[in-house]
Structure 1
Amino acid sequence: MPTATIDDDQRRARLGARHLLATRGPSVEAVADALVGVHATDPATVYLSTCARLDHPATADVDAALYDRRTLVRLLCMRRTMFAVTATTAPVVHAAAGKPIAAKERRNLLTHLADGVGWDADRLAEVEDATLEALRRRGEATAVELTRDVPALLEQVVVAPGKPYETRQNVSSRILRVLAAEGRTRRGRPLGTWLSSQFRWAPGTPWPDIDPAEARAELIRRRLAAYGPDTEADLKWWTGWTLTAVRRALADVGAVPVGLSTGTGHVLPDDLDPVDRPEPWAALLPALDSTPMGWQARDWYLPTRHRPRLFDTAGNVGPTVWWNGTVVGGWAQRPDGEPVWHLLDDVGADATAAIAREAQRMADWIGGTRVTPRFRTPLEKELST
């Protein structure tokens, strides 16, 4: 039974401080580690989420971390979602959450190819070996360039047969996706701007083997340090694990139960003391940002009444406006790139002024670039017209 309580105000104080929103971070890597990974399903989110938390935001710094220093890497991991995590964190994340997904992706690929083009595991291995050899020769290549070297990648399968949206797809995209999930390839620079989702591919190095139970415990330790208190349901949802695996990892790190406004949460054993309330802060966070998407139970920072305008029907959050740890509105860009926002709560003159300053800060570093979220939400679409 919980012997301590952490109320909603204290949770919001932790969120502001630990997610580098009340006090910004010094580097791209510091932001990624503070969030235990930046959502990367939409490439723009990596840049917008990171720059919202940096003292001196610049897309060039994110590019350098991803493609020059390679201190930030994209992984298919928690909840079968793409995250950008630091290179030092990646082996833990892969062993705890990425490796099981990669194995499932390979099983699905073999079924997909057996039904579509009659390939077995041996044939797939041949094509993969040829693809990796072509990539080693080129150093970096697009999927189209690789199909010139390995014509088998051009074989096609039917996707969604019998459905109105039935289409044919080259096997190359699925094969490259599985190789990346296993760490045998990695995504290089995009073909276009930082908004592009079309990447070049480069050779990868498989991640070192880590005992899965140890990796899960380490991931939960990092998660609780950044997001705690977490309920078991939050952790099950975020990791994609079974409840048994979540409880085992909580036990392995000695997590302590605490009372919440609703239910029971868990924190690390040295994290029971109250944290200081940070100075008032405002933030404009992008669609799919790791903070609003960080918990399954969101009432303590995102009022239920706001969700219909801020989420799409699949549960993806759009751009959000924050004041002192609570979502108070949403934002978008007009066709000319100017940020605009709408408040769903009356937050007063001081908060409105702080939000305006944050919007101007973003306008300054984004330089007129127009970002359209991959998943559109009602308020974002309304504001962007």
Structure 2
Amino acid sequence: MTPALLRHRLQRQGIATPVADSVAATVRHLAAMQAQDYAASLFAIGLRTSGATLATVEAAIARGEIVRTWPMRGTLHWLAREDVRWMVALMAPRVQAANAARIARDHGLDEHTLARCRRAIEAALSHGRPVMRGDLYAQLDAIGVDSGGQRGLQVLGWMAHEGLICQGPREGRQPTFVWLDAWIPAAATLSREEALHRLALRYLQGHAPASAADLAWWSGLTQKDAKLALESASSSLLRETHAGDVLWHAAALPAARAARSIHLLPAFDEYLIGYRDRSPVVADEQLRRVIGINGLVNPTVIVDGRVVGTWKRDADARGHVRIAPFRPLAEKERLGIGKAAARLARFLGAPAPVAS
């Protein structure tokens, strides 16, 4: 992928310049944002939102403007409130179909047992207030479904894939859950064709340029469905062939403000996770240093659209940012990393850190 296409992707992603002035608008622009690492995901939203702080993002969560749930790939994502129902309805059934036999075999969660769990969870949540995960596990234990051995989490994940529950605001470090009908307003049901059409437009709005294979990976849908989605929206899209692959573009971007070229991206950021093909942004010989064999995706240092190292922030009060570069860094690049570290500190409301 050429430098120009990478710059376009950075702009689409809201990394080069913030994409919105509100948390909900940022998440809506990206359609869905990876959220399995909670703290990292808050910064992913914040760095794309003008003037956002940790408190800004957490307030949007508390108001239910953005929602953390399992819409696709069996993985937690942030969605704008109005997108939860149609995205879960479109993409979650494929995850359920792939996992039904496994959770019945490994966890004893057959249809009859899940029906009992469903009734218990509804009784605990239908009042509309957030309930801590541990309290829901206690409800399962009370009906004779042992929540240990990951069984409780499997139940809650299944209920979320059914569109019955989602996560609510955290209480301290602990997640809570809410009954979806009591937390999110009702919405018109989309046909599958309408949902695929919308998905293509929304994915490219925040991720273009991208291929059908990228959309299939990101959504967890089949290649056939991804191609169908893109073709259904093709009258609103542009396409070009690059290195033998068809890349799709959404409508033209608005004129950008002065763009930054050096960034500290959090773990599991959409810039890496949102595409099947990571080779445009990270060299093959460095990929294992970015994405471990356990699937964990490290925080990355981005210069001109490509990964040049990883980073981590010390847990102490000073919040020292430590860089592990893949190559020698120029003085200008180190200065840019320092500015990116200062942006992280402002988001966290922490003292300005030192990057090294």
**Fold shared per TM-score above 0.5:** yes
CA contact (8 A) 1:232 1:246 kept: yes
- For 1:214-363, list aligned pairs within 5 A: 214-254=194-234, 256-260=238-242, 262-268=243-249, 270=251, 279-336=259-316, 337-363=319-345
Distance 1:120 1:314, change over 3 A: closer
**DSSP 3-state at the match of 2:247:** strand
- Distance in structure 2 (CA, Å) of the matches to 1:309 and 1:257: 33
Which 5+ residue runs of structure 2 have no aligned equivalent? Answer: none
Structure 1 residue 211 corresponds to structure 2 residue 205? no
Pick the aligned partner of 1:46 from 41, 47, 50: 41
- For 1:1-385, list aligned pairs within 5 A: 8-24=2-18, 25-68=20-63, 70-102=64-96, 104-105=98-99, 108-112=102-106, 116=108, 121-137=111-127, 139-149=129-139, 151-156=141-146, 169=149, 171-192=151-172, 196=173, 198-205=174-181, 208-254=188-234, 256-260=238-242, 262-268=243-249, 270=251, 279-336=259-316, 337-367=319-349
CA contact (8 A) 2:267 2:298 kept: yes
CA contact (8 A) 2:290 2:300 kept: yes
CA contact (8 A) 1:282 1:323 kept: yes
TM-score normalised by the chain length of structure 2 = 0.84
TM-score normalised by the chain length of structure 1 = 0.78
CA contact (8 A) 1:147 1:153 kept: no
Deviates more, 1:344-353 or 1:26-35: 344-353
CA contact (8 A) 1:333 1:339 kept: yes
How many residues are aligned here?
Answer: 344
Deviates more, 1:281-290 or 1:297-306: 297-306
Cα shift readout 1:256-314 (whole Å, capped 9, x = no counterpart): 54121x3312324755x998796342211111011121222222222223223222114
CA displacement at 1:123 relative to structure 2: 4.8
CA displacement at 1:361 relative to structure 2: 2.4
- Distance in structure 1 (CA, Å) of the matches to 2:25 and 2:111: 41
CA contact (8 A) 1:77 1:101 kept: no
Q: Which amino acid aligns with 2:49?
A: L
Q: Which is greater in Rg?
A: 1
Cα shift readout 1:89-135 (whole Å, capped 9, x = no counterpart): 3233223322433455556544555xx3xx75345323421331132
CA contact (8 A) 2:31 2:202 kept: yes
**DSSP 3-state at the match of 2:86:** helix
Identity of paired residues, percent? 24
- Distance in structure 2 (CA, Å) of the matches to 1:148 and 1:305: 47
- Distance in structure 1 (CA, Å) of the matches to 2:42 and 2:251: 33
Distance 1:294 1:126, change over 3 A: closer
Distance 1:340 1:187, change over 3 A: same
- Distance in structure 1 (CA, Å) of the matches to 2:88 and 2:247: 23
CA contact (8 A) 2:310 2:325 kept: yes
- Distance in structure 2 (CA, Å) of the matches to 1:365 and 1:108: 41
CA contact (8 A) 2:29 2:206 kept: yes
- Distance in structure 1 (CA, Å) of the matches to 2:128 and 2:248: 48
**DSSP 3-state at the match of 2:275:** coil
- Distance in structure 2 (CA, Å) of the matches to 1:33 and 1:274: 17
In the alignment, what sits opposite 1:377?
A: none
- Distance in structure 2 (CA, Å) of the matches to 1:61 and 1:156: 38
Cα shift readout 1:59-82 (whole Å, capped 9, x = no counterpart): 1111121122x1101231232221
Cα shift readout 1:155-193 (whole Å, capped 9, x = no counterpart): 338xxxxxxxxxx5274332222112222122122232x
CA displacement at 1:238 relative to structure 2: 1.7
- Distance in structure 2 (CA, Å) of the matches to 1:105 and 1:66: 29
CA displacement at 1:31 relative to structure 2: 2.1
Distance 1:327 1:127, change over 3 A: closer
Which 5+ residue runs of structure 1 have no aligned equivalent? Answer: 1-6, 158-167, 370-382
**DSSP 3-state at the match of 1:291:** helix
CA displacement at 1:199 relative to structure 2: 1.3
- Distance in structure 2 (CA, Å) of the matches to 1:203 and 1:179: 10
- Distance in structure 1 (CA, Å) of the matches to 2:232 and 2:164: 31
